Amino acid sequence: MRMGRALLMALLACLALPAMAKAPAKPVQLDQELYRTVVERVRGGEGFYPATMAAQRERQYPVQPALAVRPPMMTWLLALLPSTMTRTAALIALLFGALIALRQSLADRPPAEALGMVALAVAGLFGAFFPDNVYLHEQWSVLLIMLSLAAHRRPWLSVGLALLAVLVRETALAWLAAILLMALWQRDGKRALMALGAMALAAGLWLLHAQFVAAQVLPGDLTSPGWVRFGGLPLVIDALRRNLVLTALPGPLVLALVAVSLAAMLRWGREMERTAAIGSAGFLAALTVFGRPDNGYWGFMAAPFVLLGLPLLVHRGRVRLKR
């Protein structure tokens, strides 16, 4: 156990190296800069919607339709903290908490298999260590999803965390829907009703968000060109490369490894792994239709989950060889 923890700490330290390296040249307009500006304005006393719309106009960002404006949950939470440093510390603390919860949920698995799954999850979380990524909604939402999956034995907590993940980033709906599908498959009516209620609440809050956005729109505001692009597998491959293990691999191999992993999770996984696989598969399927070429960073949402089936596959292979 101590050796496993030491290996995990070493892997986390390696992933932290990119954050300490010299940052590459970057465009003037970045989503992180926009979100950081909004957080600072809200912390300074401005309302979320006026601050957000003004910041997006200043950067020539579209403000309509409502999907062009991220929901306020993450901004409100980050505005409670005084600086980027404290916000980053909170994100890293949440990351470690999510990994500990994941490891505990795998306590009844063989140690090597559990450690392999945790390490592959860490490989999908390396983006949290880069400067200013604390302002990306995906970084927070995916950790809430991981906590939700790890808490699957407590339905109210699992559904509540998944709902919070959706309120931070709408694309987390794929995993909340997966919880619903698993509940229906297991004939767990209570969990299914909780998941349905959470989805209904999320939809209601999003409609309220859309109304607030519409109330702030001015004549001449830019409109987003839309996200229905049918980008197909190239966008999926780009998104999957947000897992460090897949970053440098050729596209066909990326797809093959993820397909094998998801199949193993569905075949040999338990409730947590199957829910993660269903949510990830749904999310990746949606990416073939939705998303522009520059939206590959959305892949941070699925990156920690897509390879969790590989240790299951390796373990089953070893069992068969022993036989």
Name residue 115's amino acid.
Answer: L
The confidence band for 10, taking pLDDT boundaries of 50, 70 and 90, is very low
Confirm whether 117 is domain-assigned. Answer: yes
Work out the angle between the directed axes of helices 189-216 and 48-58 (0-180°, nearest 10). 60
Confirm whether 135 is domain-assigned. Answer: yes
pLDDT tens-digit series, residues 42-82: 999 999 999 999 999 999 999 999 999 999 999 999 999 99
pLDDT tens-digit series, residues 218-245: 999 999 998 999 999 999 999 999 999 9
The confidence band for 143, taking pLDDT boundaries of 50, 70 and 90, is very high
Domain that includes residue 193, residue range: 32-322
Residue 39 · residue 32 · CB < 8 Å? no
**16 has pLDDT over 70:** no
Confirm whether 25 is domain-assigned. Answer: no
Bridge partner residues of 228 (DSSP): 290
pTM of the prediction? Answer: 0.90
Name residue 243's amino acid.
Answer: N
Question: What percent of the chain has a predicted confidence (pLDDT) above 70?
Answer: 89
Residue 159 · residue 195 · CB < 8 Å? yes
Predicted local confidence at residue 161, as pLDDT: 98
Confirm whether 276 is domain-assigned. Answer: yes
The confidence band for 185, taking pLDDT boundaries of 50, 70 and 90, is very high
Question: What percent of the chain has a predicted confidence (pLDDT) above 90?
Answer: 85
184-208: b (≥16 Cβ within 10 Å) or e: eeeebeebbebbeebbeebeebbee
Confirm whether 8 is domain-assigned. Answer: no
Can you point out the beta strands (E) in 1-105?
none
Q: What is the DSSP string of 194-236?
A: HHHHHHHHHHHHHHHHHHHHHHH--TT--B---SB----HHHH
CA distance 177 to 195: 8
Burial of 262 (0-12, 13-18, 19+ CB in 10 A): buried
Residue 300 · residue 138 · CB < 8 Å? yes
CA nearest 78: which of 46, 49, 38, 45?
Answer: 38
CA distance 133 to 30: 11
Distance of CA 70 to the CA centre of its chain: 15
Confirm whether 295 is domain-assigned. Answer: yes
Collect contacts of 90-95 with beta carbons under 8 A, ≥24 apart.
91/128, 91/134, 91/139, 91/140, 91/143, 92/128, 92/129, 94/140, 94/143, 95/125, 95/128, 95/143
Range 181-188 average pLDDT: 97
pLDDT tens-digit series, residues 240-275: 999 999 999 999 999 999 999 999 999 999 999 999
Confirm whether 24 is domain-assigned. Answer: no
pLDDT tens-digit series, residues 103-138: 999 999 999 999 999 999 999 999 998 888 999 999
Confirm whether 16 is domain-assigned. Answer: no
**317 has pLDDT over 80:** no
Q: How many domains does one find in the chain?
A: 1
Predicted local confidence at residue 322, as pLDDT: 60
Predicted local confidence at residue 320, as pLDDT: 58
Predicted local confidence at residue 168, as pLDDT: 98
